[in-house]
Amino acid sequence: MQVLVGKKAPLFNASAVVNGNQIVDSFSLDQYVGKKEVVFFFYPLDFTFVCPTELIAFQDKLAEFEKRNVAVVGCSIDSEFSHFAWLQTDRNKGGISGVNYPLVADVSKTISKNFGVLAGSEVKDENSGSYAFNGAAVAYRGLFLIDKEGLVRHQVINDLPLGRSIDEAIRMVDALQHFEQHGEVCPANWKEGEDAMQATQEGVAEYLSK
């Protein structure tokens, strides 16, 4: 599992569904460089169980991301046609109707692999020299906070059964934006509106003495 923090987010250009009802052939995170931070998250599969709870939870909090000028983008190994069908399916039937942030189609699994979230691994057959994939070829629940320069500043990767906290993703956005605006670092469990601190021994001592 590779660590991308501090590095440029891997480039890609892929099909996606945008606005909940429009398939586009060429979608890239490059469109946000210089304009917005991005929360780019992976989930295993459409039409499953934990996944719709996460995608709907992101939608429910989308206004919180938008007021922070942050784009939310989802991705799985499903096709754009599967994404589209899922988006048109009512929630009481296992669908995610009403979700309107982009969903990227990673059919080739290249995006998942480049971000280091593809479950399983390729195994070489010593007799034939050929490679076979061992494990479930789907994405773990990876989440990447990418800044306006295209750098990954935060990543978290959950195993398939473990749903994420959307509030934690918002907290990390707040911490990054606070640091960028004020130059102060954010201590454990920091939330917007609380005291941060200077990245010095004196700053730590002052913070801990409060």
Identify whether the C-beta of residue 139 lies closer than 8 Å to the C-beta of residue 106. yes
> Which residues of 77-176 form beta strands (DSSP E)?
103-105, 121-124, 131-134, 141-146, 152-158
Neighbours of 118 (CB within 10 A): 25
User: Please, what sign has the CA dihedral across residues 126, 131, 137, 140?
Assistant: positive
Active site (catalytic) residues: 51
The pair of three-digit structure tokens given for residue 1, joined into one six-digit string = 């599992």
Helix (H) or strand (E) holding 78: none
